[in-house]
């Protein structure tokens, strides 16, 4: 979904969008920009009034359009006017990113990730709403018309308050030297694959007890032999490394971090550390590396980044946009099923292929570490998370039941998600419930479903994520890019 047109001026975006409303979107999406501009010049005058009935009565005979011209136009407007919404989001994205670069007031500095998310919502009211955009940018008026219904219902459209940094973050063109501890595991191997294709990541050391002495496969930039690096070795090598990635099981990382900290007291060197385990996800000294929800500049400035859990990433992305509308007296219930790579390589029932055949295994039915993580980073929301493991290798499906504090409808809820994730290249908001087999090997999260019950006060949302990609290695690389000064999506295939 990379949007090359996002670099164009707002007026052009909106004008192109206006044209789209009177022609088949599929034709126009590929039409040369010069044609669009020519058509737009003819149509701009007629498209100016945005209230449909008066538009029709005042301009119908002037334009000499027949009913056959009107029908598709009318249908397009009533069918949620997707192209106009897209135009609005493009306009807003520009506004958001330009305002975020010019001012830091939209999202306040957050000393820790939990406060960060709360701060983010606290500041939604300060974020430039589409109505303020309307007054400050006349050209965007046409684009905002598509969300008037949403505003009428009282769910103020909130633009993405934490837009992606994208290429704005690209301040470093020197390759970074990377050390990977826990390189034999599933997440370590997935990261090696990404680093191999990255323009600036230069893997130097891979550590594994089991593979010591063997040559690293699947990495073509240089020849590397696996070593069994102890915390002392890591401390000794630290000045040769710009970023350490810890892909170790929970509870193993601490001696490495302590050794690095101790070494840096003497050398003054500051390498970045990204930890994939759960060990530092609740530690206020560490940035919680979920870039779509944690203030991105916090991650950029951090040298200690805890990578979120796979289930926790998809769950938080699926719940966060609705936080202001959640009925706090009820539980958010999250039913998750993962492929068995989520259980790592150490043999257990959870990655026993024979036991998993024709089977589904529930585990940690209360108090799973991700339950605590989701709740903690959603500002203490009440969460019941029940994970399962199934017979496929990679990919997670979540079904999330959310109690609402007011009656809402499916379309409005989906729009809230689309607005919240405007410009995000690793979050895709879809209508239908996404399928786990379609997310396999992709690098983002798909969120869909948005089924609302008869009361309007309960919504069920579904999400899919590849646990080894956005659930681990892709998110790790996104955090590395941010912290090391590369374009946020460098080396990542966006959705």
Which active-site residues does the annotation give?
310
Any contact of residue 209 with ligand NAP (CB under 6 A)?
Answer: yes
Which of 87/387 has CB closer to ligand NAP?
387
Binding mask 260-279 for ligand NAP (x = CB under 6 A): ----------------xx--
Binding mask 295-324 for ligand NAP (x = CB under 6 A): --------------xx--------------
- Interface residue with ligand NAP, options 203, 206, 472, 480 (CB under 6 A): 472
Site for ligand NAP in 408-467 (CB under 6 A): 467
Q: Least separation, in Å, of the C-beta of 478 and ligand NAP?
A: 13
Any contact of residue 251 with ligand NAP (CB under 6 A)?
Answer: no
- How many other CB atoms are found less than 10 A from the CB of residue 316? 29
Question: What whole-number distance in Å separates Cα of residue 402 and Cα of residue 419?
Answer: 19
Q: Least separation, in Å, of the C-beta of 378 and ligand NAP?
A: 18
Any contact of residue 479 with ligand NAP (CB under 6 A)?
Answer: no
- Interface residue with ligand NAP, options 471, 481, 490, 491 (CB under 6 A): 471
Question: What whole-number distance in Å separates Cα of residue 91 and Cα of residue 144?
Answer: 9
Region of 126-134, 176-184, 198-206, 235-243 interacting with ligand NAP (CB under 6 A): 176-184
Which of 18/341 has CB closer to ligand NAP?
341
Handedness of CA 318, 322, 328, 330 (dihedral sign): negative
Which of 19/183 has CB closer to ligand NAP?
183
Q: Which of 475, 299, 424, 453 is nearest to 1 (CA)?
A: 424
Region of 94-102, 124-132, 181-189, 406-414 interacting with ligand NAP (CB under 6 A): 181-189
Which of 25/211 has CB closer to ligand NAP?
211
Q: Which of 64, 162, 167, 55 is nearest to 482 (CA)?
A: 167
Question: What whole-number distance in Å separates Cα of residue 473 and Cα of residue 479?
Answer: 10
- For 199, the token pair is 């323009």
Q: Determine phi and psi for 458, rounding to 5 degrees.
A: -145, 125
> Which value, in Å, is the radius of gyration of the alpha carbons in the chain?
24
- For 310, the token pair is 């796979």
- For 377, the token pair is 């980073």
Beta bridge partner(s), residue 273: 244, 304
Q: What residue number has its CB nearest to ligand NAP? A: 185
Question: What whole-number distance in Å separates Cα of residue 414 and Cα of residue 428?
Answer: 11
Q: Which of 394, 376, 387 is nearest to 473 (CA)?
A: 394
Site for ligand NAP in 337-396 (CB under 6 A): 341-342, 344-346
Region of 67-75, 202-210, 260-268, 479-487 interacting with ligand NAP (CB under 6 A): 202-210
Question: What whole-number distance in Å separates Cα of residue 27 and Cα of residue 475?
Answer: 35
Question: What whole-number distance in Å separates Cα of residue 412 and Cα of residue 241?
Answer: 48
Interface positions with ligand NAP (CB under 6 A): 182-188, 208-211, 247-250, 252, 276-277, 309-310, 341-342, 344-346, 467-468, 471-472
């Amino acid at each position: 979904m990379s949007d090359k047109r996002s670099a164009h001026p707002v007026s052009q975006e909106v004008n192109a969008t206006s044209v789209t409303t009177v022609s088949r979107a599929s034709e126009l999406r590929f039409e040369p920009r010069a044609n669009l501009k020519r058509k737009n010049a003819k149509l701009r005058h007629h498209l100016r009034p945005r209230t449909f009935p008066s538009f029709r009565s005042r301009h119908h005979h002037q334009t000499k359009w027949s009913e056959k011209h009107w029908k598709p136009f009318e249908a397009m407007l009533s069918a949620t006017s997707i192209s106009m919404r897209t135009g609005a989001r493009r306009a807003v994205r520009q506004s958001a990113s330009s305002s975020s670069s010019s001012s830091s007031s939209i999202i306040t500095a957050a000393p820790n990730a939990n406060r960060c998310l709360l701060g983010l919502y606290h500041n939604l009211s300060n974020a430039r709403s589409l109505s303020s955009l309307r007054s400050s940018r006349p050209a965007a008026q046409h684009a905002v018309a598509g969300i008037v219904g949403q505003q009428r219902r009282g769910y103020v459209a909130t633009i993405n308050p934490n837009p992606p940094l994208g290429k704005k973050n690209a301040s470093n063109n020197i390759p970074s030297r990377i050390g990977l501890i826990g390189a034999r595991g599933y997440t370590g191997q997935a990261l090696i694959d990404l680093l191999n294709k990255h323009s600036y990541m230069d893997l130097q050391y891979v550590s594994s007890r089991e593979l010591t002495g063997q040559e690293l496969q699947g990495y073509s930039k240089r020849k590397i032999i696996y070593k069994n690096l102890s915390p002392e070795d890591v401390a000794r090598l630290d000045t040769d490394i710009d970023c350490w990635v810890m892909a170790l099981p929970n509870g193993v990382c601490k001696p490495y971090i302590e050794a690095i900290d101790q070494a840096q007291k003497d050398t003054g060197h500051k390498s970045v550390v990204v930890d994939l385990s759960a060990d530092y996800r609740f530690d206020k000294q560490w940035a919680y590396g979920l870039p779509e929800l944690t203030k991105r500049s916090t991650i950029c400035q951090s040298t200690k980044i805890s990578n979120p859990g796979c289930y926790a990433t998809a769950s938080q992305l699926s719940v966060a946009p609705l936080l202001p509308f959640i009925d706090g007296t009820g539980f958010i219930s999250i039913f998750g099923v993962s492929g068995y790579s989520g259980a790592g390589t150490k043999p257990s029932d959870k990655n026993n292929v024979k036991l998993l055949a024709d089977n589904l295994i529930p585990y940690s039915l209360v108090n799973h570490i991700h339950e605590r993580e989701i709740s903690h980073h959603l500002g203490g929301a009440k969460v019941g998370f029940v994970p399962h493991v199934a017979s496929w290798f990679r990919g997670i499906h979540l079904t999330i039941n959310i109690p609402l504090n007011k009656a809402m409808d499916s379309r409005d809820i989906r729009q809230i998600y689309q607005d919240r994730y405007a410009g995000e290249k690793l979050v895709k908001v879809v209508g239908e419930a996404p399928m786990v087999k379609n997310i396999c090997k992709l690098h983002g999260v798909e969120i869909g479903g948005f089924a609302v019950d008869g009361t309007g006060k309960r919504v069920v949302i579904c999400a899919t994520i590849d646990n080894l990609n956005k659930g681990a290695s892709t998110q790790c690389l996104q955090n590395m890019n941010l912290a090391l000064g590369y374009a946020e999506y460098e080396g990542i295939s966006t959705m």
